[in-house]
Amino acid sequence: MKTPICLSTAVLILAAGCNNESSTSTGSETNATTNASSPLTAPVDYLGALAKAKQSAVKTVDTSSLKEAIEMFQVDHGRYPKDLNELVQEKYIPRIPDAPYGMKLLYDPNTGQVSVVKQTQPQQ
C-alpha cells in the first residue's frame, strides 16, 4: 500500500521539477534565471566565493602589515622609504610579501601608500 503512494509522490516531484520556464519566456526577461545558483553548481559557486574571500583577506593582511612597517620607518627616519626593499634592508619586515596571483603591490614613495592592484600583461 505504501509503494503506490511513494511512487505517485516521486512522479509529482519529478513533474514539478521538470517545469521548463524558458519555453514560456516572452523575451523581455533578463538572464537572471540563467545566472541564478542551482544545486548542481553550488560546489563551484562556493569554491569561487571562497577563492575571492581568500584573495581579499590576503590583500588586507599584506597591505596592513606593510603600512605598519612604512609608518614605523617614517617615524624613525622622518621620510617614507624609497621602495619596499628598503624596509627589508632596514629590517622592518623580513621580506616583501607575495601579492595574490594576478595581482601586484603598488607603492608610492611620495605618500607612503601601498595597495594591491591587478597586474597588467605587457603588450607584445
pLDDT tens readout for residues 14-26: 555 555 554 444 4
Using an 8 Å Cβ cutoff, are 75 and 68 in contact? no
Share of the chain above pLDDT 90, in %: 30
Q: For residue 87, tell me if it sits in a domain.
A: yes
Q: For residue 96, tell me if it sits in a domain.
A: yes
Q: Give the number of other CB atoms < 10 A from CB of residue 67.
A: 14
Using an 8 Å Cβ cutoff, are 109 and 77 in contact? no
pLDDT at 25: 46
Q: For residue 63, tell me if it sits in a domain.
A: yes
Segments forming the whole domain that contains residue 64: 51-119
For CA atoms 21, 44, 56, 107, give the dihedral sign. negative
Using an 8 Å Cβ cutoff, are 93 and 65 in contact? yes
Mean pLDDT on 36-64: 75
DSSP 106: E
Q: For residue 13, tell me if it sits in a domain.
A: no
Asked if the model's pLDDT at residue 118 lies above 70, the reply is yes
Mean pLDDT on 33-54: 74
pLDDT at 18: 54
Asked if the model's pLDDT at residue 82 lies above 90, the reply is yes
Give the count of domains, the chain: 1
The pTM score is: 0.53
Mean pLDDT on 34-44: 72
Using an 8 Å Cβ cutoff, are 75 and 120 in contact? no
